């Protein structure tokens, strides 16, 4: 199906004014969500879907979103909800609307049960600069790389961009990057030789996968390119496996796209296709009041129609 006028193949979906006005009205009427275990309750999804189905233009937008995330799209999409955030704020009403939109892609769920459905990713000046809440370069990675069943999609909602203008999001098509490698490097990446991170207090992401292969030889819609640049610092990684991973990291950088999320933007990443990261925030974060520093919210999605 073609992409309508509200979207483009660069991954951005801009809503017409009439649709924004309808969604603002709907956002004020959506009920609080309920959970069934780690997952958004079916009853909540049905109620949200009923509200959105009353807006004819939204059906086209949802189709565009799914197409962008699918095999023929870039594997990511940014839904621009800035005007809606301006009208609703970025708290309960807006988060319910964003959740309703994402439920048209897959089922929102909480793999990290100690955090809410929308997990805060703020700016912590004391954190490791390379972590998601740090101020430095956050290298390419997929989320929950060491689970046997990682989330199918990762979503980031921008509450506040870096007020100093930096911190661009970076994305890269991991499948395309792999195809640019030599057969020898791909063979090394297919070996069960890589490890990264801890695995605890997680729900519905399978069991710990340690060690794991970067390439699992599954079809692209089911398997993953299990990559995180941070695994290159793990002790015990053989030199040849590290070199193959570095070659993949170089190809990911060569093929990257970048853009700076604005307030109300919702970025959705198909983890079967793409890896993501972030450029460093601007110098001078100590001069920014904590309540004005960059803040994103993160949510994960499970495609319950996929075989496990």
Q: For 78-99, write each residue's pLDDT tens digit.
A: 999 999 999 999 999 999 999 9
Of the candidates 7, 14, 2, 69, which has an alpha carbon nearest to the alpha carbon of residue 274?
69
pLDDT score, position 197 = 87
183, two tokens: 């057969």
Residue 234 is classified by DSSP as S
pTM of the predicted structure, to 2 decimals: 0.95
pLDDT surpassing 60 at residue 239: yes
Confidence class for position 8, pLDDT limits 50, 70, 90: low
User: How much is the average pLDDT of 55-63?
Assistant: 92
Percent of the chain with pLDDT over 90: 91
Contact call for residues 220 and 203 (beta carbons, < 8 A): no
134, two tokens: 């740090």
User: How much is the average pLDDT of 38-53?
Assistant: 97
Give CA–CA dist 151/144, Å, rounded: 7
Stretch among 50-64, 94-108, 140-154, 252-266 having the lowest mean pLDDT: 50-64
Neighbours of 28 (CB within 10 A): 12
**Cα four-point dihedral sign 13, 106, 155, 24:** positive
Give CA–CA dist 70/162, Å, rounded: 30
Give strand pairing partners of 274.
Answer: 173
Give CA–CA dist 256/118, Å, rounded: 26
Neighbours of 176 (CB within 10 A): 14
pLDDT score, position 21 = 97
């Amino acid at each position: 199906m073609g992409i309508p006028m509200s979207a483009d193949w660069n991954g951005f979906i801009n809503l017409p004014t009439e649709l924004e006005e309808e969604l603002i009205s709907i956002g004020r009427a959506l009920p609080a969500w309920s959970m069934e275990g780690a997952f958004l309750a079916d009853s909540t999804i049905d109620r949200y879907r009923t509200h959105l189905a009353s807006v004819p233009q939204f059906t086209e937008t949802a189709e565009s979103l799914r197409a962008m995330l699918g095999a023929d799209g870039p594997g990511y999409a940014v839904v621009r909800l800035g005007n809606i955030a301006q009208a609703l704020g970025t708290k309960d009403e807006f988060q319910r609307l964003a959740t309703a939109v994402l439920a048209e892609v897959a089922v929102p769920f909480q793999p990290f049960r100690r955090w809410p459905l929308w997990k805060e990713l703020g700016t912590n000046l004391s954190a490791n600069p390379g972590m998601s809440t740090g101020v430095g370069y956050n290298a390419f990675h997929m989320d929950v790389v060491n689970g046997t069943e990682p989330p199918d999609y990762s979503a980031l909602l921008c509450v506040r961009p870096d007020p100093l203008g930096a911190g661009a999001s970076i994305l890269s098509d991991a499948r395309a990057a792999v195809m640019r490698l030599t057969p020898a490097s791909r063979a090394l990446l297919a070996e069960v030789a890589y490890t990264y991170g801890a695995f605890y207090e997680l729900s519905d992401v399978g069991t710990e996968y340690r060690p794991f292969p970067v390439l699992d030889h599954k079809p692209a819609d089911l398997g993953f390119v299990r990559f995180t640049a941070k695994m290159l610092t793990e002790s015990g990684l053989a030199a040849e496996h590290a070199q193959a991973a570095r070659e993949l990291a170089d190809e990911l950088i060569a093929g990257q796209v970048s853009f700076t999320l604005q307030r109300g933007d919702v970025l959705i990443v198909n983890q079967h296709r793409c890896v993501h990261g972030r450029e460093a925030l601007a110098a001078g974060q100590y001069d920014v009041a904590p309540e004005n520093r960059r803040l994103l919210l993160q949510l994960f999605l499970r495609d319950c129609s996929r075989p496990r």
